[in-house]
Amino acid sequence: MSESRYQLARAQFNGVNKFIACQLSTESSPLIALSNYFNLTVGPECKDFPPFAEESMLSKPIMTALEYTVSHYAKHNISVPGFLNKERLLQIVPSLAKGLHLIPGCRRCQDFIACDELYLFYVLNIKVIHGWVCDPNDKEFFSVLGNCSRSTLLKSISRPGGLAKLVEGTSNPSSLSKKIQKFAESGLTKYGLRILHEEIGERQLAIICINDQFDVIYKCSGDLFVLETDGHVLTKFGEALWKRLTLTEEESFYVTMHFDPVKGQKNIHKATEWLERKLSDVDDCGDKGKEQASKKGRDRSSQVSNVGIWGDKAKGRGS
């Protein structure tokens, strides 16, 4: 049986020519996300590359990283949990193209139900996060949900009378039922998006999992962007792109790998507004930097003058 072939696209990241792989369907697989993560972070410069790559080519950097990590642990006699089994981890890699089912917990964006597939990310030292997070300030809602996982909640409300039992005794069962239903069906919540902004540092790469779709995510100028891997979109605009992570498509837009607005897109006005804010922030930082530098210069000048004054006085006292 022949391997699947993936379309490749040029992506200049941090001034270095790289390539990224595009997804085969509407779902973004963990193989694509992990392969692109490695290519952007530690992959070599690629001025020329084929238009397509087979699955084994995308898996190779992941396998190499696993081999190195496990060997490093063994070489230095580092005590590791039992899950760090080389054979088991290497067996997971071929299944990445078919997708993974990671189950998020509702309390924190890094909470997932433990499984071998999740350990793969931990071993590779890659931050994997989600946005299905409940707001603790909504105390009744937070209390009713408890420390549940998404699968547990979906099972509970799918049972006959399950949702009614969950909200029994609350102040407004009808309103809370609707809120729980909406929360269970969502992959990214308003509070979850806010927490993701706090969790990911500026210029940091991570992998985000929303409804079992995996994507590379990056923070630039305080905003979160997901690496676009839809081949049709990349072909339309002719280059690799970032897409702003938002709750609605109306607020989202595309930017280039250099974070310039992409011409011809639907929400070009949103992208332009974002760029103007970004440039304004840079100018503000520059002005503040100039003020601080000027102040430091005045302070240093004052210190030099004071040294001179006290030196003269010291001489005067000594004469």
pLDDT at 316: 35
pLDDT at 318: 35
Residue type for position 220: C
pLDDT at 90: 85
pLDDT at 295: 47
pLDDT at 79: 63
- CA–CA dist 218, 197 (Å, integer): 10
- CA–CA dist 288, 93 (Å, integer): 49
pLDDT at 207: 98
Domain boundaries, the chain: 5-132+186-266
pLDDT at 85: 72
- CA–CA dist 231, 241 (Å, integer): 11
- Nearest partner of 208 among 260, 150, 131, 147, judged by Cα: 131
Q: If you ran DSSP here, which 8-state letter would residue 47 be given?
A: S
Reading the chain (319 residues) residue by residue, the pLDDT tens digits are: 567 889 999 999 999 999 999 988 766 789 999 999 999 999 889 888 899 999 999 999 899 988 888 888 878 877 655 555 778 888 889 889 989 999 999 999 999 999 888 988 988 999 999 999 999 999 999 999 988 999 999 999 999 999 999 999 999 999 999 999 999 999 999 999 999 999 999 999 999 999 999 999 999 999 999 999 999 999 999 889 999 999 999 999 999 999 999 999 999 999 999 999 988 877 666 554 444 444 444 443 333 323 232 233 333 333 3
pLDDT at 280: 86
pLDDT at 110: 96
C-alpha Rg value of the chain to the nearest Å:
26
Q: Provide the strand spans (E) within the chain.
A: 5-13, 16-21, 52-54, 128-129, 205-210, 213-220, 223-227, 241-244, 254-256
pLDDT at 89: 84
